[in-house]
Structure 1
Amino acid sequence: MSDTITIAAADGTAATIALHGAEPVSWVVAGREYLWEGDPAHWNRHAPWLFPVVGASAGGRVRVGDDTFPMAQHGFARDLPFAVAAQAPDSVTLRLGDDAATRAHYPFAFALDITATVSPGRLAFTIVVHNTGETALPYGLGFHPAFPWPFAGGERAAGAGYAVVFEHPERPFAPQVGEGGLLLRDEQPLPLDGDTLPLDPEIFTEALVVLDAKSRWMRFAGPDGSAIRLEAEDFPHLAVWTKPTAPFLSLECWTGHADWAGFSGDLSERDAQRLLAPGARARHGVTLSFEAAGA
């Protein structure tokens, strides 16, 4: 079996999904690639899924009851193989379940299903977290896709006409990021102009995080009027990230976030971590859309 699966819509919109991490590695609209290529000189990922935590954990560990477990930044799902649960020409469902390897980091029973579906100009995901165990399941979920910058001509520079536009005006402050990727209660100003963040590579020393965002969607808009839009369902936090010298921009949506500096509690007490009852399922959604200039 191939280590990737390609799905396509009638108009030629296509996506390739890797079994490793259920990560989208290509999204082609009208013959053009709109996902970041994963050049390891800058960032060797394309669009990883974050589970069962988002961001850094204090000391690189999580506590569950009287025990502690190693936990990498953004969890482990992005680094594990998923199985094919269902497949059609325009969609695929990939599944990750708990096993001895996951329980060494996260002592819970779960199933994580990610369904990717293409339609004209769109790549949509339905994510279902299922608590298959007998105790409450604390989880965080995030999506971290990156896109070429520039994608619509021009330059990757201040004043070049690229911006992130939010559905609603957002509060122009974000938590600072401290040692080890932990969040600080001190805030930094965001150069937001109402609903618009004019893009300048130099503003990105860390991710710019919009906690408890009013917006459910944001658009990475180009100078010609075209845009890549991310719309999130049941992801209350949004983020924008790149590196000052890297030719990509990441639009992110999260249910949770990194630990606050000084946190030492149980994983179930982590700020914004979801608690899923035994046997319950939680559904989340993300849709990527390409909006052509003048459309």
Structure 2
Amino acid sequence: MIVTISNSQLSATISTLGAELISLVKNNKNYIWQVDETYWNKTSPVLFPIVGRLKNDSFTYNGNSYQLPRHGFARNMEFSFEKRSDSQVIFELNETEESKVNYPFDFKLFLAYTLMNNELVIEYFVRNQSDDELLFSIGAHPAFAIEGNFENHSLQFNNSDIFETNHLENESFNDKRTLVETENNTIQLNYSLFDKDALVFKHLKSNEVNLKYQDKNILKVNFDNFPYLGIWTKQNAPFLCIEPWSGLADNGNHNGNLEDKEGINHLPAGEDFLRAIRIEVLE
């Protein structure tokens, strides 16, 4: 089912399958890319309860072994929803007997989509429903439509940073890092940046990034309190993913224990976790 919210400036559509953002429209222009399976079959999947790929697609917890696919299962599950107003909808997902076969935790996952003026605010809320700590990762993966020449686009960050990307090899980190060339905290885009998968930044001071076409601001993504940021596209694809993460793919040397996973969140029993991204349309 597709749910629509709107205000005087924007409208957004979200699917109950995966609580996935399908469109974000202003003045008849959609800022979310439309699926072309030649390149990719998603628009903005929710990454939960892991981000990226586990080593051997598995983890161990309390002496037992479990299997999880890349980015977890939430993106392929049907969410329930409550439309609070014309401009807000809240989606909910709970553990099931099926999910506990591969992820032995009790949880509630809420996603709230709220339009405020020219912004879409997406809140990621996790509640630990169990008597033990909840171990999880969560991340955003919105794909923004790129019109015109990809290389005329750039990403401008709001702080002076060392833009050191962490290399992925077969979707696992390999401890190699390189500096991405920047000028005035701006990365000029070209497809060769993604020859070895995503750019992954672990230690940014920035919490906002503008997507620009030449000197024109298109949109801004605020990712305050997300410790990691991924940037990704496919060769010649007309989209760019800006991905705030609270979690990471495994390192190739990881021992497999979920408790020891880099970037994993340890949420105590009965407690809540909240993060939000803000997508501001600037045109």
Q: TM-score scaled to structure 1, two decimals?
A: 0.92
Give me the whole-angstrom Cα distance separating, in 1, the residues matched to 2:163 and 2:203. 12
Give me the whole-angstrom Cα distance separating, in 1, the residues matched to 2:62 and 2:186. 43
Task: Verify: 1:75 aligned to 2:66, yes or no.
Answer: no
Shift of residue 200 of structure 1? 0.8
Give me the whole-angstrom Cα distance separating, in 2, the residues matched to 1:273 and 1:70. 17
Paired residue for 2:55, among 58, 82, 103? 58
Paired residue for 1:210, among 187, 201, 204? 201
Which amino acid is the alignment partner of residue 290 of structure 1? V
8 A contact 1:170–1:194 mirrored in 2? no
List runs of 5+ in structure 1 lacking aligned partners. none
Matched with 1:282 is: 273
Partner SS state of residue 229, structure 2: strand
State the number of aligned residues: 282
Matched with 1:168 is: 159
Alignment of 1:1-295 (within 5 A): 3-11=1-9, 13-150=10-147, 154-157=148-151, 160=152, 162-179=153-170, 181-205=171-195, 206-292=197-283
Shift of residue 37 of structure 1? 0.5
Give me the whole-angstrom Cα distance separating, in 1, the residues matched to 2:116 and 2:36. 27
Give me the whole-angstrom Cα distance separating, in 1, the residues matched to 2:228 and 2:208. 11
List runs of 5+ in structure 2 lacking aligned partners. none
Give me the whole-angstrom Cα distance separating, in 1, the residues matched to 2:224 and 2:163. 22
Identity of aligned residues (%): 26
Partner SS state of residue 104, structure 1: helix
Partner SS state of residue 102, structure 2: coil
Shift of residue 79 of structure 1? 0.8
Shift of residue 225 of structure 1? 1.1
Shift of residue 145 of structure 1? 0.3
Give me the whole-angstrom Cα distance separating, in 1, the residues matched to 2:224 and 2:83. 22
8 A contact 2:163–2:204 mirrored in 1? no
Which deviates more, 96-105 or 262-271? 262-271
Shift of residue 136 of structure 1? 0.3
Partner SS state of residue 78, structure 1: helix
The 1:281/1:86 distance shift into structure 2, 3 A limit, reads farther
Cα RMSD for the two superposed structures = 1.2
Q: Give CA deviations for 1:208-245 in whole Å, capped at 9, x if unaligned.
A: 01112111111111125122111113211112111121
Q: Give CA deviations for 1:123-176 in whole Å, capped at 9, x if unaligned.
A: 1111110000110001101000011112xxx4223xx2x101111122132111
